[in-house]
Amino acid sequence: MNEEIGVFSMFSENNDLLSSSGEIKVMNMEYIDSEITNWEELFKGYSKLHAVTYSSSIDFISKLLPMFKEIEIIFGFEKVLKGLDDIMAYQQVTIEELRSIFNKKEQNLLNRIDDGTLKLFLMRDKVSHKKMYLLKGDGLEPKVITGSANLSNIAFSGKQLENIYVLKGENAYKEFFAEYNEMKLESTDSISREAIALSDGEDIENIPIISNVKTNKVIIISPENEVASNSNKNILIKYNHLKKKYKDVVPKPSKNGNILLNYSEVKKIKEKIKHVNIEKNAIERKTPKLKIDINNKEVILDDMPLDLNPKPEEIKNDVNLFVNYFKGFNTFLGDTEDAINKYYAFTNWFFASPFMSVIRSYATIYNKPITPYPVFGLLYGKSNAGKTKLLETLMLMMVGQKAVLPAKEFTKSLIYNLREEMLGFPIVIDDLNNTRFRNHAIELIKDDSYIAENFSSIAISANEDVKAVENELSKRMIICHITASLPKMDAMKGSLVRTTQNNIGTAFYREYLRRMMDTTIPLLIEELSDDEKEAPDIFYLSSKIIKEIIGEFYKEEVPDWVVELKLDYYFETLAEQSIKQKILTMWKSNPKIFKVNKKSNILTIDTGDYHEANRIVGELPSYMHKGTANGVISLDLKYAEEYFGQDFCSRFIDRFIK
């Protein structure tokens, strides 16, 4: 299967386009013959090249450039460009690709931009599906190469099925050259030498559409509403990352759909980016960078390799402090056993989180799902439940320092900017309220398709005002709802927490990293590459290592809560536990609000509150829900009884007569 299929759905096209009666241009051709050749012979001998291709073709283009005296290339893009954020992201990622190629082996070609023998253009607000290459040379018949082939290594290597058509003669050349000029004049921005040489991902001045504002004063952008097909996967990953970076800083389209871009708007964009970068840099200075280097079996912390062979006595110290810290949760009020189990499960995910981005990258390469490797975790529940202190302790165990992002600094745009910069160390957001969770976290969690070799997972702690977590979110993140807590005065004393945090080191975690790097991660990657196997369970393998380390170094009997955990526990038991407890508590305390219609196979729950009903429905599996009106929830009776493990048909009195 082609690895490039799947980033954007093949079935998400806008079918409304089919109802329009717009005219299409048809070129009539006659078949002459076919021949077997190679790309060098196809392009050889001509001195001028005018090309339209995709940005994913840049590496091959660098091979072609020395063959021609004059070259013009328009880089199209298959992805729909609906707004300025799309356009800026696409243009920047293309320039960065150009720069990487030119820096490697073609730096001298930048001089050809200066002398005018190399001209590069980027599409602005049109989707280009065209691939056409116009060749001209003294004493040679003009040639047009078109068809399905991008100007890429694989397309012209013979290894991929392509249609390559060659048309010769002045008539064909003039027809295609007219189309080329129309594209160039109507919707392109030229790329300067400075844009390639100085591209650094921070200064937007060299993005062509922005730099062209200086020349043209005002640019009107009319984004297309067409849905386009897939492009190169790596290009799309970079493009999507940059698009999110620009989304909240660019002007929005007016009522007529156009974007008016002048230098005043450019200044506003620059100020917003500057503000975001100040926030990002301030946080980066306080936050450790942890990189997983699979190839060299190294873990790099702040540019220094970690010692993955800690001394046994140091491991023993950390293990005993860790277990005793968890035993301290037994002094809490409420369901302490449940709290310990959930905190231990969260610890397993938190320890494994730096590996999640690595495994997701391999899963993408081998066309395996990425959902078994979640990059979001949520601890929420009562105040004084120990959530913040646990996160602090886990960070100390991992890197020897606390690095918590205050909730007031948490925004979507900041996280989009931070994730790749911080590499693998989790970004921890503390004490997030319901408003910020709804306004910023939900969009991030739903958009969990981000892929990079090393990027940060997000760990969030929140209080009880995050009243419900929708089923749509629970499929994408680790959720631990804590109902136990400490009395206020006991929480203020916290001697066990202070003792643990003052004395615990990183040896336990470094031993964990060594074992993960030595055997577990290579095994995971091997299983991902096997088409016959399902996505491997990182939770089970991680928890197995934690259990082994505790078993080897804990001086007393290993507690019952030190267990091996599987993926099902996280996405079924943990994800569903909160809503199941809520409904069963309602059933036990007030069964009158439940009504059963066996004939219609319907169970209704009258919550008496419109908002509460919607919150409950959001947490339930969609297959069970039949409808909601005026605070009354209608569920499929059969599915509800299976899901909750409760016979809702039993009479209230029956529960007291045994």
Residues, the chain: 658
Tell me which residue of 658, 633, 656, 638 sits closest to 648, measured CA to CA: 638
Give me the percent of the chain exceeding a pLDDT of 70: 76
Order of strands, sheet of 602-606, starting from the edge strand that comes earlier in the sequence: 594-597, 602-606, 632-636, 625-629
Place of tokens 């016959």: 532
For residue 591, the Cα-to-chain-centroid distance in whole angstroms is: 43
Which residues make Cβ contacts (< 8 Å) with residue 438, sequence separation at least 6? none
Given a contact cutoff of 8 angstroms between Cβ atoms, the answer to whether 276 and 413 are in contact is yes
pLDDT digits (tens, 9 = 90+) for 192-223: 777 776 655 566 776 777 776 665 555 555 55
Task: Band the pLDDT of 521: cuts 50, 70, 90.
Answer: very high
Given a contact cutoff of 8 angstroms between Cβ atoms, the answer to whether 79 and 231 are in contact is yes
Residue 256 tokens, joined: 């007529």
The top-level CATH class assigned to 15-28+39-280 is: alpha beta
Average pLDDT, the chain: 79
Give the per-residue pLDDT at 142.
95
Q: Which of 79-83, 308-312, 578-582 comes out lowest in average pLDDT?
A: 79-83
Give the per-residue pLDDT at 655.
45
What is the maximum alpha-carbon separation in the chain? Answer: 103
Q: What distance in Å separates the CA atoms of residue 312 and residue 514, rounded to the nearest whole number?
A: 13
Task: Band the pLDDT of 658: cuts 50, 70, 90.
Answer: very low
pLDDT digits (tens, 9 = 90+) for 111-131: 788 888 888 887 765 556 678
pLDDT digits (tens, 9 = 90+) for 424-461: 888 888 888 777 777 777 777 777 666 666 778 889 88
* DSSP 8-state code for residue 555: S
Given a contact cutoff of 8 angstroms between Cβ atoms, the answer to whether 648 and 637 are in contact is yes
Give the per-residue pLDDT at 414.
72
Find the mean pLDDT for residues 3-14: 34
Strands 376-381 and 458-463: parallel
Place of tokens 């698009």: 243
Give the per-residue pLDDT at 121.
84
Give the per-residue pLDDT at 77.
64
Number of H helices and E strands in the chain, helices first, is: 25, 21
Task: Band the pLDDT of 491: cuts 50, 70, 90.
Answer: low
Exposure pattern of 461-478 as b/e (b: 16+ CB <10 Å)?
bbbeebebbbbebbebbb
Place of tokens 């110290």: 317
Tell me which residue of 288, 244, 250 sits closest to 421, measured CA to CA: 288
Given a contact cutoff of 8 angstroms between Cβ atoms, the answer to whether 246 and 460 are in contact is no
Give the per-residue pLDDT at 320.
96
pLDDT digits (tens, 9 = 90+) for 550-585: 999 998 999 999 999 999 888 877 767 777 878 888
Domain spans of the chain? 15-28+39-280, 290-570, 590-656
Give the per-residue pLDDT at 653.
44
Task: Band the pLDDT of 404: cuts 50, 70, 90.
Answer: confident
Given a contact cutoff of 8 angstroms between Cβ atoms, the answer to whether 629 and 623 are in contact is no
Task: Band the pLDDT of 481: cuts 50, 70, 90.
Answer: confident
Strand, coil or helix: what is 595?
strand
Give the per-residue pLDDT at 162.
80
Find the mean pLDDT for residues 600-605: 91
Residue 604 tokens, joined: 């209704």
Task: Band the pLDDT of 315: cuts 50, 70, 90.
Answer: very high
pLDDT digits (tens, 9 = 90+) for 155-185: 777 777 788 899 999 999 999 999 899 888 7
Residue 138 tokens, joined: 């003294």
Task: Band the pLDDT of 348: cuts 50, 70, 90.
Answer: very high
Q: Which of 24-38, 57-71, 85-99, 305-319 comes out lowest in average pLDDT?
A: 85-99
Burial class (CB in 10 A: 0-12, 13-18, 19+), 653: exposed
Task: Band the pLDDT of 505: cuts 50, 70, 90.
Answer: very high
Order of strands, sheet of 478-482, starting from the edge strand that comes earlier in the sequence: 404-406, 427-432, 458-463, 376-381, 478-482
412 — phi, psi (to 5°)?
-60, -50
Sign of CA dihedral 457, 461, 465, 468: positive
Burial class (CB in 10 A: 0-12, 13-18, 19+), 633: buried
Give the per-residue pLDDT at 475.
76
Q: What distance in Å separates the CA atoms of residue 260 and residue 265, rounded to the nearest whole number?
A: 8
- CA-angle at 344, arms to 341 and 345, nearest 5°: 85
Across the strands, what pairs with 471?
Answer: none
Q: What distance in Å separates the CA atoms of residue 584 and residue 591, rounded to the nearest whole number?
A: 10
Burial class (CB in 10 A: 0-12, 13-18, 19+), 360: buried
Give the per-residue pLDDT at 621.
79
Residue 549 tokens, joined: 């380390």
Q: Calculate the dihedral angle through the C-alpha atoms of 362, 368, 372, 378, rounding to the nearest 10 degrees.
A: 70
pLDDT above 50 (res 6): no
Q: Calculate the dihedral angle through the C-alpha atoms of 61, 62, 66, 67, rounding to the nearest 10 degrees.
A: -30
Find the mean pLDDT for residues 617-634: 85
Place of tokens 């997983």: 292
Residue 533 tokens, joined: 């196997």
Task: Band the pLDDT of 634: cuts 50, 70, 90.
Answer: very high
